[in-house]
Amino acid sequence: MNKLLELLQKQSVLLLDGAMGTELFKRGLISGGCPEEWNVSHPDRVQDVHRAYVEAGSDIILTNSFGGTRYRLKLHNLQDRVVELNRAAAQNARAVADAAGRTVLVAGSMGPTGELLIPMGSMRYEECRDAFAEQARGLIEGGVDLLWIETMSDLNEVKAAIEGVRTVSPEIPICATMSYDTRGRTMMGVTGAQMAKELAGLGLTAIGANCGNNLIDTEAALAEMRAAAPDMILIAKANAGMPRYEGDKLIYDGTPEVMAAYADRVRRNGVTLIGGCCGSGPAHIRMMRQVLDGVIPVPEAPPPTPSAAASEPTGRIRERRVRR
């Protein structure tokens, strides 16, 4: 049963959630800490983030498991707790979704391993596939409705993740998004059109773009996907504007008004799964909900124009995406 397609038949557009890490930092997660470990040590705080997004209007919430493969958890000496931590991530989101009083779906977040596949790096395809299979097992045991492969740069890693999921469950719905953060391409040079063409025949429920350096490049990648695969369900889960550092603090310039205007634009361009990524919080999601529902008019807030420097992520921003 594909609950995502069932819900899309009832609602023409579904609202996703926003950032998880930013909200956990507000609740006490220290820099360099492991968000996934909080699924066990601080489940109340993780559930509080999920609840804030549900109350803001999210129809789909992503589990706190972005870095849940053994390769990422090894950075915290937690590589032997993959299934446990991912199961707990799913259970935390499931508890909030089931108490929402309306249909809220739980998507199991699966971010990149942080390793490069051969020949660019040393990780074998089979190792990558098996890492995602292990993560998927925990998420499925915890009760997710679908799996959400996100923030990818390498199409081969996406394919390994899909294959890994399918070794655990042939039926569970899968969505996949890539990050267009390097002059309109992913860090590995993939265009929106390439993504759509190569993934179109792999049985995914939806594809799209998330994260990225700016709204303009993200929306351009989505337009390429629409042209290359007109019948695919598309996802837009963009960052709240453009990231920049002020000292050691990463700042996003996308206000709730900017993100609400973006939500309206991508909806008019045929995107049906819409949310926010880094820098977006419940306030952004709430205003996006109000605009999508026609409760308030669309704000006059065009996307910030990316500077030349912003068209390619800095080393520190790239490192943050790998290790966040």
Q: Name the strand (E) or helix (H) holding 246.
A: strand 243-246
Q: Is 277 annotated as a binding residue?
A: yes
Phi, psi (deg, nearest 5) at residue 81? -120, 25
Chain centroid to Cα 248, Å, comes to 24
Residues in the chain: 324
Question: What is the spatial order of strands in the sheet that 60-62 belongs to?
Answer: 14-15, 273-276, 233-238, 206-211, 174-178, 146-152, 105-110, 60-62
Q: Is 128 annotated as a binding residue?
A: no
3-class DSSP string for 68-125: CCHHHHHHHCCHHHHHHHHHHHHHHHHHHHHCCCCCCEEEEEECCCCCCECCCCCECH
The residues, ordered by sequence, that sit 6+ positions from 33 with a Cβ below 8 Å of its Cβ are none
* DSSP conformation class of 18: -
* Binding-site positions for Zn(2+): 211, 277-278
Can you say which residues are annotated as belonging to the binding site? 211, 277-278
